[in-house]
Structure 1
Amino acid sequence: MSVLQQAADARAASFDLAAATRAEKDAALLLMAERLVQRADDIVAANAVDVDKARTGGSTDAMIDRLTLTPQRVAAMADGLRQLAALPDPVGDVVRGSTLANGLELRQVRVPFGVVGIIYEGRPNVTADAAGICLKSGNAALLRGSSSAYSSNAAIVAVLRKAVADAGLPADTVQLLDATSRDSVKELMRARGLVDVLIPRGGAALIKTVVEESTVPVIETGVGNCHVYVDSDADLEKALAVVVNSKTQRLSTCNTAESLLVHAEIADSFLPLVLEELMAAGVTVHGDPRVAAYSDDVVPATAEDWGAEYLSADIAAAVVDSLDDALDHIRRYGTGHTEAIVSESVTATQRFAARVDAAAVMVNASTRFTDGGEFGFGAEIGISTQKLHARGPMGLPELTSTKYVVTGNGHTRP
């Protein structure tokens, strides 16, 4: 089936889905979760095919980790759907309303986008998350995962579609596009009029391609070159915990720290500690000459390291002479995702938060908290680094638009 036909089917399904009640959508989500658990063995078996191909093809350990599904990870996908069912339905919420001087009643209400296309790489858990958050927000989902996860995604979507249909909603609420050819991406990006918005999730090359070539409106999710800046007034124990957690809690996510900046005044006290901890955790530190002076195991940083999203056990590190130098470094190399400061100085943290241009700013906390689940949003569709409509973790409200409903009593305009 062509992408345009799938998009047309999604458009038709979206009209019924937009009118579905919260109870109907929640029942579908709960049934989707139940069926995922019931079919976990089949999903993991399909995933094993993808993982074997990835290993044979020489994929990195980080990429294989993103790809791999276990019964526990399938159960976590199901839990994400259950959490969505427990969240308030944004559709129909009144954003603002008033009675005008002429007696007209004005309401701005949340409505679904309609059809949402998601283009993503590697991680098959995104398939369930994206399908669920689109359904809860009243949108039909066109899912275009990567070829590396096609067997996994096909198994997941087959389970989800059957559950949606058994719950009484259109099966075409959730559709998987062919991932064996790049043509499906091109067709999806040009399905303006059938697809309301595209959301790319993946590396810089994918996002750049979708943003630059799509005729369908795009919500840009960002690459994560996230920094942790350890200020001169930092509590070193807190700083050590935040840096190590930001880098090592999980290596392959966009909110993992990829860069470390340390104020020169505490470099002698802090760098030996943090280098030892990071290296003990298997992290390779790519440092400037001032960092390299503290350990022979530091790899000299190249120009490319400062802008890298490693998604691996690597981190770039530099010594800076001031908070403003740290801000300058972040402005030059940051991607607008998440930036963190560790400091006991209220003046420093306020200045950092006000002057850093990022979707999320962490003060004395790990970058790994930039996440829809951690923010209490439930499953997220992605983390937006753009400045229009949605920014940061995109939960249910960010998957809606609004329309105005104006109620009169035979009103005419003079």
Structure 2
Amino acid sequence: MRVKRYVVDTMPDAMHSIRSELGSDAVILSTKEIKVGGFMGMFTKKKIEVVAAVENGTKAAAQEKIPAPPMNVPRKAVPEAYQKAASAAAPPLPPPVTVREAAAGKSFAEIAAALADPLEQGGGVAVMPPLTKTEPPDIRSEDTAAEQPEPEPAAAAESDVLREIRDMKQWMERIARYSSGAAELPDALETWRSRLIDQEVDAVLVEEWIGYVLERYREEGSGWSSERFEEVLREQIDGFLADRIAGGIAPDTRIVYIAGPTGVGKTTTIAKLAAEQLFKQGRKVGLITSDTYRISAVEQLRTYASILNMPLEVVQSPGDLQRAMFRLESCDLVLMDTAGRNYRNELLVAELQSLLAKELKSETLLVLSLTSKSRDMKKIAEHFGRYQLDKVVFTKLDETGSYGPLFNVLNDYPLKLSYITNGQNVPDDLLMATGEQIGGMLLGTGGG
């Protein structure tokens, strides 16, 4: 079995690397959000650590660009002390446990124990069992086959394998410790876990939050009321949202770009934002649209601009945008409606970049619909995220009862939640997001 650890920005990056290096038969053992880099705890970057494995004999070996050194090191190349330790070892080791064999009908705790056996029985490095049941093909040429391999590369390869297996063991033990399959959860906590799953929250977040509550429960002893479980779980959710809520448009922002795919309600959202800034913030607002691809898109926004008594400019190129900004220089804030394009078409999405005038104090808001699938929302955020997105607006709150995808997007991408819309009425159906409101929606305790 071959095990490898990846540190990536997004899960699609991890999937691409795993498939290209380990093949389509690879199995993901664990995922974890980590922070790397920075100075004295500041300026760190959020990454995702993924551990994957594949059984030997698949096409993973054929996809290696550089042939790996054979794991069965000739006895003459092994230091003498290692040979003595191997000779004095206790009873022969069981055959290696593959991921599929270990997972079949067993709990996470049993899997972790199975993976731990080779290390514990052999006492460490000296008697590491072979990773394959059959001899790997000799890929050396005739000239090099007669030469004895250097002990240093062999020892280094063995050390890397042991390190990856130990990392995998630690992850499996952690999953086993917090998984409901390894230990029966209290009834109240099991109810909350089912609630999160029904809300389509990613398994990574569910296990992290429920695992934390379970750990606190064990530390403080039994006797918790159902309200106490909800209170501690709410603490976790509030902590998650603490640095992911952005509030409204900043007072010193001069231009706001509204980006997103087709059909999410960008034009209606821009009208709501314009009314909110005009009536609640007292700012003079101008509108720009570049959405000349969709029939009646300009007329729809022109109607809103007429009702709100706001100037509207239509642009089709960067030159048009500069002239439009000059004509709107008396406005405190300019809201720009970008064309709704197919996010899967790289050329169409790239057109947005040419229309972003970053010399001004600006914000870029990504508009997503809560009625979309979680994986589609993530794919949209990934594509548009190449153009310096700042905040996200979720629409159609009134058309869904599942709020987990909102948390999944915020967990996987560096976006801050700004607004939520819950209807078609302008300007009423626009809500500035708060942690209390979003947390209550997820747990079903109010805020929807």
TM-score, normalized by the shorter chain, greater than 0.5: no
TM-score range for the pair, normalised by the shorter chain length: under 0.3
Answer with 1 or 2: which has the greater Rg.
2
- Provide the TM-score with structure 1 as the length reference: 0.27
Relative contact order (alpha carbons < 8 A, sep ≥ 6): 1 or 2 greater?
1
- Provide the TM-score with structure 2 as the length reference: 0.25
